[in-house]
Amino acid sequence: MQTWKTFVRNHTEGIASIDLFVVPTISFQQLFAFLVLGHERRRLLWFAVSHNPTAEWLERQISEAFPWDSAQKYLVRDHDRAFGVAFKARVRAMGVRDRPTSYRSPWRNGYVERLIGSIRHECTDHVIVFNAEHLRRILAK
């Protein structure tokens, strides 16, 4: 059986990573940013912002991130409860193999975790976010 590192190295062009992270607003509300990162070029493929990321909302976002037959072969994610039954069913219907990381193992999803760290360090730690639209504009730059 191949190790996780070998799996990632062998299938880099066919892997996308997803994750959610929290951004506080000026009014102390929480916004959730959803990121989809392609491993091949370590390129941000999709992002979305929500006050309440339900499995149905995440299902729509993954469908928009990979229109038609452009989905990666593997999807690496953590065990967040937001990725519920509807999300898992949609990913399966798209023909994508869901590869959740081990519990409490953020280093297994290192590329997207590094992107989140960079976004926090370069953007959200130095800017006060007003609302969801403001966060979308920050992430789009």
Amino acid at 97: R
Tokens linked to 98: 């869901």
Q: CA–CA distance from 80 to each of 70, 112, 115 (Å)?
A: 25, 14, 18
Q: What is the pLDDT of residue 56?
A: 92
- The structure's pTM equals 0.87
Q: What is the pLDDT of residue 129?
A: 94
Instruction: Name beta bridge partners: 74.
Output: 15, 97
Q: What is the pLDDT of residue 136?
A: 94
Cα 76 → chain centroid: 9
Overall number of domains in the chain: 1
Q: What is the pLDDT of residue 71?
A: 80
Q: What is the pLDDT of residue 3?
A: 83
Dihedral Cα 66, 47, 99, 3, nearest 10 deg: 110
Q: Are 34 and 48 in contact (CB under 8 A)?
A: yes
Ordered per-residue pLDDT tens for the chain, 141 residues: 778 788 777 777 788 999 999 999 999 999 999 999 988 888 899 999 999 999 999 999 999 998 877 788 888 898 888 888 889 999 999 989 988 887 877 777 888 889 999 999 998 889 999 999 999 999 987
Q: What is the pLDDT of residue 46?
A: 93
CATH number of the domain that residue 118 is part of: 3.30.420.10
The range of the structural domain enclosing residue 118 comes to 4-140
Q: State the alpha helices, DSSP H only, in 4-119.
A: 4-10, 55-65, 85-93, 110-119
Backbone φ, ψ for residue 10 (5° rounding): -75, -25
